[in-house]
Structure 1
Amino acid sequence: MNNYNSQLSMLSLPQKLKELVLKWREEGYKDATEKTKRLLDFWFNEAHELGDGTEFEYRNAQREAIETLIYCHEILKVRNLYELNRALGEPLPAVPSSYIWPKYAFKMATGSGKTMVMAMAVVWSYFNDYTKNFLLIAPNLIVLDRLGTDFIDGKIFRKYPLIPTEWQGGFQLDVIGADDSPIPKKPAVLPGLSDLKDAAATMLRWFNLK
């Protein structure tokens, strides 16, 4: 029975969170930072056109994902599943000591636009000064190559409407690959790592974290 209740809780949690995020959207993203409000308005309320003249619009799945991330971080101020369950009155899944770093996860279908959500999260974090260092972990070389195609030289940030025009001059992000030497500026990194211990070691080494 406990296991059954736990499964029901895990099903009710995303539905409860989805309803809260939708209400927050309808209220105009109340209590979000001004920079966050500008980004959300730019992404989802303004018309966009790519360089070739093609109209562009973010997908619903992408919007829900980035809104949920922001809502959890800025409004609920939770950093992991334990804190999220506690904030929403759900059974607690694990002890807090099992969470070393802030941890958010999204389940998105193949082809729903995960890479774009990653880029949106980078832009949101960067302009809010939450962090200017980013480590992207690829499970295999195929995915690494795809990420490299989008992120190396900052291609994705130039091709798509991710940054409001008035902010573009303030976006200085060095993108380096797994085999590149670290450079002193703030980078977004693309290591081809699937082992989380190796990824953590790389992050500590490249970002000089203690």
Structure 2
Amino acid sequence: MANQKLRGDISLELAKTISEQANNAFNAGSMFEDVTPTTRDLLNHWFGESYTDSRTFNFHEGQKQSILNVIYLHEVLKIKDVLDIYSKVDSDLIPFVNLADLKKEKYSYPKYAIKMATGTGKTWVMHALMIWQLLNAKHEDSYSGRYTKNFLVVAPGIIVYDRLLDAFKGKIKEGTQERDEKTNDFYSNGDLFLPEAYKEEIIRFIQNNTVTK
């Protein structure tokens, strides 16, 4: 069909609409009403002006957008599966997607992808989203099945794998094979990642639950 949109165009259009809706909800304050108290604490700490103005380092706009988009889909829209994203964000796109494909089992649960260029801080976004999931899993009043304490991080090669070990376990001490945990991302950038009320439990989790291949 002449007016048939390419699949890539649909994905980009969907992503743009998600960003617009997430920003509107955040800026209007309605997002804070729809998320959990734990998520509200994190959003305030990460993006509230009283915190960002007092820190040397903050998430840049692309990182902030990625974090907001995932939280918006998961907590505000309460997405159940990939097709649900289209239905709740922009149902006008549904006629242009492969419904048979999206109804496959591999798309039957909340599934999000973040596309960022090399060197733009994907690891920090991953840290934030893991903290968000972890703290909500630990602090929700009753089990919802929408948060987890279990994470599998897959690296595409040795260089990235070593960088991830630095991020979670700290850099190797000079002249040894031991890692200095106080050089990991969570210690080095604790003011950014860790609200004071949750700091100790996040640090303990990272120390006690990070394993290597």
Assess same fold via TM > 0.5: yes
Q: 2: distance between equivalents of 1:168 and 1:98? A: 35
Q: Which residue of 2 aligns with 1:125?
A: 133
Larger helix share, 1 or 2 = 2
Aligned-partner residue type, residue 41 of structure 2: R
Distance 1:12 1:141, change over 3 A: same
Identity rate, percent: 32
Q: Which runs of 5+ in 1 are unaligned?
A: 50-54, 176-184, 192-210
Q: 2: distance between equivalents of 1:32 and 1:79? A: 16
User: What is the count of residue pairs matched by the alignment?
Assistant: 176
Asked whether the 8 Å contact 2:45–2:195 carries over to 1, the reply is yes
How does the TM-score come out when normalised to structure 2?
A: 0.74
In the alignment, does 2:88 pair up with 1:71? no
Q: Which residue of 1 aligns with 2:14?
A: 13
Matched ranges for 1:20-169 at <5 A: 20-28=21-29, 29=31, 30-45=33-48, 46-47=51-52, 48-49=54-55, 55-88=56-89, 89=91, 90-91=93-94, 92-93=97-98, 94-99=102-107, 101-129=109-137, 130-152=147-169, 153=181, 155-160=184-189, 161-169=192-200
Q: 2: distance between equivalents of 1:190 and 1:2? A: 51
Q: Deviations over 1:115-155 (max 9, x none)?
A: 00010011101111111111110011111011111111472
Aligned-partner residue type, residue 35 of structure 1: T
Q: Which runs of 5+ in 2 are unaligned?
A: 138-146, 170-180
SS at match of 2:66: helix
Q: 1: distance between equivalents of 2:153 and 2:110? A: 15
How does the TM-score come out when normalised to structure 1?
A: 0.75
Distance 1:85 1:159, change over 3 A: same
Q: 1: distance between equivalents of 2:76 and 2:69? A: 10
Aligned-partner residue type, residue 114 of structure 2: F
Q: How far apart are 1:86 and its partner, in Å? A: 2.0
Larger strand share, 1 or 2 = 1
